[in-house]
Structure 1
Amino acid sequence: MARRKRTSGFEDLINIMARLPWWACLGIALLSWLILSSIASRPMDVSGATLDQVGGIVMGQLLRTFAYGGQYLLPFACVLAAISSVVSRVRRKKLLADVQAATQPGKAIDGLNWRQFEQLVGEAFRRQGYSITETGGNGPDGGVDLVLRKDSEKYLVQCKHWRSLKVGVAVIREFFGAMAVEGAAGGFVVTSGRFTKEAQGFASGRNIQLVDGIALKQWVTQHKAQQTGPVAEPAAITQPLPPSCPNCNATMIKRTAKRGANAGDSFWGCSDYPRCKSVVNI
């Protein structure tokens, strides 16, 4: 992973605020100017000040000095952030349009870098009516990358731009823990590759939708075909319904063999085990 470029505090402020809608940045710019300009123009009366009041006078002067510079600097940063927000939105739209226009969308997705992949996924969710907050995760290797909000519910998204590796169950477990900490109603793990069977089994029943490379390609092309109509929900991996036990007709449970020649393989086992030991191979 490439080392992140060191930025100044001013640049960090712009980058953080650029994640907001452009109109929110302009609103903060106006509000900050009104507040700081009123502080900077407030008169200071030092006549008759006692020795005990000197500290307060000094602090007041420091506050006015900060407000005098901040009344111009902070709104300027907000305006730059608004411009950056608009430019980023245009780039995300163009990115999605370029992938849709590609003769082989799957290869176009594989050719993206990890940041472009996150932007593509975010734009696809945005077109589904979600409001998006880009958190940036922890770079290309992990972390929650997007926070979605829709109908007062919060959802988390983790993007894995892994072309040659399968996303394993450890990633899904960690993501499920993040959902619990954040109090999210659900989550999506999106990859350009594939998921292991163990990862699919763990996600089943936990309100985690797994979107692999094939489903993502179908999802993106669906947007192209439905730009003038309602947008379909994301094409996530379909979790199979548990079959009934062929012996006692009880519901079967997905298990993983821990030893023997089939160690690591998944199978359906009777929920009435050990009284019924029937199994069905997946």
Structure 2
Amino acid sequence: MARRRKQSPFEDLIDLAAMLPWWITLPLALIAYLWLHSIATSPIPTLANPADLGSHMPGMMLRGLAVPAQYFLPAALVIGAIASIFGRMRRKKLFASVANSESTLESISWREFELLVGEAFRRKGFTVQETGQGGADGGIDLMLLKEGEKYLVQCKQWRRQLVQVTVVRELFGVMAAEGAKGGFVVISGRFTEDAKAFARGKNLQLIEGAELNEMIRQSRATAARRNSQPTTIKTPNQATSVSSDPPIQPRRATQPTCPTCQAPMVQRVAKRGSNVGNLFWGCSQFPKCRTTRNEMPT
């Protein structure tokens, strides 16, 4: 496989800006220009005494850096914002294409598959970050954020083979190392029975191609119904989900009560010791209360 060309810091900054929404990046570009321009055009201090040169040196160096940076930094942010806009349009077009076709998952590239999965989770209310660590060969492709919790996603667009248990096991290990609340493995085909058995009982959800297609169609249908209805103002306590379009969340076990302080217990993943990677119940009042239940949640 060809080695990826090393990018310049300017290109890295564009990629970083493209991950942000354009309505955040453009104001940042304006703020950056105004701030750097004020430094670059500040008057050069006159030195009455050569001994004062050392005290003025940091300010002079900052001014020297601000002269080119006042153009390069805003330019990178603006280019990233434009890339973000076109990326959003591309994802919407790809999402609509898959929603109207049965065979698109097998005909798109692995990069388009990753974009498609990210858009599907974005429409489920997740904040989606593309890690850049994935690819055709593997790695964590997406990081999801929702309600302060982190979830990891690995995408596999393998057209003619079943996804083995090793892929699921590797993601579960990364979840433990990263302290993720849960994880998803999304594929265009099917999982082996061993893979399904390994994920059972864990905060890890396997999504096959048929299920992904159905999720995309339901999301598109829900959006169409929402657009056809008059706009209403809802309070935070009102439900926003539709019964035919259940939200995607990793499977949760019945929540027990802490036997010590009676507070609710939460699922955690052991990060060290002999039980590393295994789930256990921990008191939600930690570190005030350190009570745990080591049995596997069911």
1:12 is matched with 12
Q: 1:56 to 1:236 in 2, by over 3 A?
A: closer
Identity percentage of aligned residues: 49
Which residue of the partner structure matches residue 32 of structure 1?
32
Structure 1 residues 59 and 235, CA, compared in 2 at 3 Å: closer, same or farther?
closer
Pairing 1:1-282 to 2, within 5 Å after superposition? 1-51=1-51, 53-55=52-54, 57-102=56-101, 105=102, 107-227=103-223, 228-229=225-226, 230=242, 232-233=245-246
Q: Deviations over 1:180-212 (max 9, x none)?
A: 222211111000111122211221122100001
1:231-275 per-residue CA deviation (whole Å, 9 max, x = no partner) reads: 72367999xxxxxxxxxxxxxxxxxxxxxxxxxxxxxxxxxxxxx
Q: CA deviation at 1:129?
A: 1.2
Task: Report Cα offsets for 1:155-182 as digits up to 9, x if no partner.
Answer: 1111011112222222112211221222
Give SS of 1:218's match: helix
Q: Aligned residues, how many?
A: 234
Q: Tell me whether 215-224 or 120-129 shows the greater mean CA deviation.
A: 215-224
Name the CA shift for 1:233/1:5 in 2 (closer, same or farther; >3 Å): farther
CA-to-partner distance for each residue in 1:125-160, whole Å, 9 max, x for gaps?
A: 111111111112232211111111122222111101
Q: Give the 3 Å change call, closer, same or farther, for CA 132–2 of structure 1 in structure 2.
A: same
Measured in 2, the distance between the counterparts of 1:155 and 1:237 equals 9
Shift of 1:31: 2.7
Segments of 4+ in structure 1 off by > 6 A? 234-238
Secondary structure of the corresponding residue to residue 67 of structure 1: helix
Q: Unaligned regions of 5+ residues in structure 2, if any?
A: 227-241, 252-298
Residues 65 and 237 of structure 1, relative CA distance in 2, 3 Å threshold: closer
CA contact (8 A) 1:21 1:82 kept: yes
Shift of 1:59: 4.4
* Cα distance between partner residues in 2 of 1:237 and 1:134: 20
Higher Cα radius of gyration: 1
Q: 1:155 to 1:233 in 2, by over 3 A?
A: farther
Instruction: Tell me if structure 1 keeps the 8 A contact 2:25–2:81.
Output: yes
CA distance in 2, matches of 1:167, 1:237: 19
Secondary structure class of the residue paired with 1:195: coil
Query: What amino acid is the match of 1:210?
Result: L
Which letter maps to 2:156? Answer: K
RMSD: 2.3
Shift of 1:54: 3.7
8 Å Cα contact 1:169-1:198 kept in structure 2:
yes
Distance 1:75 1:98 in 2: 35
2-side partners of 1:45 and 1:5: how far apart? 43
Shifted more, 189-198 versus 224-233: the winner is 224-233
Structure 1 stretches lacking a partner, 5+ long: 239-282
Q: Deviations over 1:52-111 (max 9, x none)?
A: x54554443232121011112111111111111011001100001011122xx2x21110
Partner amino acid, structure 1, of 2:127: S
8 A Cα contact 2:114 2:155, kept in partner: yes
TM-score (norm 2): 0.71
- Cα distance in 1 for partners of 2:45, 2:198 equals 68
1:218 deviates by 1.8
> Match of 1:158, SS?
strand
- Contact 2:204 2:250 (8 Å CA) reproduced: no
Deviation at 1:112, TM superposition (A): 0.7
| Residue 27 of structure 1, CA deviation | 2.8
